[in-house]
Amino acid sequence: MSRSAARSIAEYLKQLREALAGEDPALIQDALYDSEEYLRAEIAAHPGKSEADVLELIATTYGAPDEVAAAYRDTEAKVKAALQPPAPRIPPAPGVWGKFFGVFLDPRAYLSLFFMLLSLVTGILYFSFAGIGLSMSAGLALLIIGVPFFLAFIAMVRVIAFGEGRLIEAFTGERMPRRPLHPGPPAGWLSRIAAMLSDARTWTTLAYLVLMGPLGLIYSMIAVLGLGLGLSFAAAPVIDALQRLEWIDAQRSVYGEGIPHWLTTPVGDVVMFASGIVILTTLMHLARGVARMHGKLAKALLAKPA
């Protein structure tokens, strides 16, 4: 059933949102931003015409909401295909073990592991920024400078949300908004402040920054512990074997004292090395799962719901 032509920007955007129903919220936010930006620029370029006249004028060049939605779906599919990590030159072996160890051929697994390590830095920065901003806002609340400081802090929170979204998409592959929320029609600063403070995404973003403190610590601890155990288990028998062959100088075995004697035998070396490889492989799978989970969490808190 054909719908009537939009007579205002608000009506056009409503029809576009309805045409994109069911799509990724990040895609919808990008499409709404681009469309509103273009339509408002066209209206500004024709000051003597009403919104309805301008929309009718550009209907054939820009397209109806349904046509724009179809174009965005097509573009999104092409971009998604282009951003897919390249297939490994050596495909993983079939079977359970092939899938288990095939994680080392997945570039996304390495990015996910690096994300877990990096989250300690970003988590501390975000948590500190949110904590200092909130505490100073509360401390300055009774002074004249308190309100401007709090509003500047909230504005920075929204800027950080957009930057974090781009970082999340790069590391986890989760589709995040590539455009900020459009400020809407020209309005007074009081109206803009009210819109910013009434936007639920402002407060969910602030919650995300606070949450990144403990999450970053947990992610980094898992990554460091897994890497430490895996690498030490895998390397210990190799180093010990080189010591026994007197290829390297050492005063004592890398295994230390107080461990079962059988671990210093060739069989023990094989067990230790295999254990290290299994730990590292499990860590890679865990990192990939953590990145996917965190991407979903970030989208829920940082992206505007569809």
pLDDT in tens, 184-198: 666 677 888 888 888
pLDDT in tens, 178-187: 887 777 666 6
Contact, 244 vs 203, CB < 8 A?
no
Q: What is the pLDDT of residue 86?
A: 67
Q: What is the pLDDT of residue 92?
A: 67
**From the CA atom positions of the chain, what is the Rg in Å?**
27
DSSP reduced 3-state for 86: coil
Q: How far apart are CA 254 and CA 274, in angstroms?
A: 17
Distances in Å between the alpha carbon of 64 and those of 2, 28, 31, 60, 61?
11, 16, 13, 8, 9
Q: Residue 57, Cβ neighbours under 10 Å: how many?
A: 13
Q: What is the pLDDT of residue 255?
A: 56
Q: What is the pLDDT of residue 257?
A: 56
Q: What is the pLDDT of residue 114?
A: 96
Name the burial class of residue 100, with classes exposed (0-12), middle (13-18) and buried (19+) by CB atoms within 10 angstroms of its CB.
middle
Contact, 36 vs 9, CB < 8 A?
yes
Question: Does pTM top 0.85 for this prediction?
Answer: no
pLDDT in tens, 96-154: 887 888 888 888 999 999 999 999 999 999 999 999 999 999 988 888 888 899 999 99
Of the candidates 279, 295, 290, the residue with the CA atom closest to the CA atom of residue 100: 279
Of the candidates 107, 209, 231, the residue with the CA atom closest to the CA atom of residue 164: 209
Is the pLDDT score of 204 beyond 90? yes
pLDDT in tens, 210-253: 999 999 999 999 999 999 999 988 887 777 666 666 665 555 55
Q: What is the mean pLDDT of the chain?
A: 84
Q: What is the pLDDT of residue 206?
A: 94
CB proximity list for 231: less than 8 A, separation 6 or greater: 276, 280
Q: How far apart are CA 184 and CA 201, in angstroms?
A: 16
Average pLDDT over residues 204-214: 95
Average pLDDT over residues 284-291: 96
Q: Which of 2-11, 26-35, 236-245 has the lowest mean pLDDT?
A: 236-245
Q: How far apart are CA 34 and CA 46, in angstroms?
A: 19
Q: Which of 80-84, 279-283, 292-296 has the lowest mean pLDDT?
A: 80-84
Contact, 19 vs 30, CB < 8 A?
no
Q: What is the pLDDT of residue 262?
A: 53
Q: What is the pLDDT of residue 261?
A: 59
Model confidence at 156, in pLDDT bands (50, 70, 90)? Answer: very high
Q: How far apart are CA 220 and CA 60, in angstroms?
A: 53
Q: Which of 29-33, 51-55, 112-116 has the lowest mean pLDDT?
A: 51-55
Name the burial class of residue 124, with classes exposed (0-12), middle (13-18) and buried (19+) by CB atoms within 10 angstroms of its CB.
middle
Contact, 55 vs 6, CB < 8 A?
yes
Contact, 25 vs 298, CB < 8 A?
no
Q: What is the pLDDT of residue 1?
A: 45
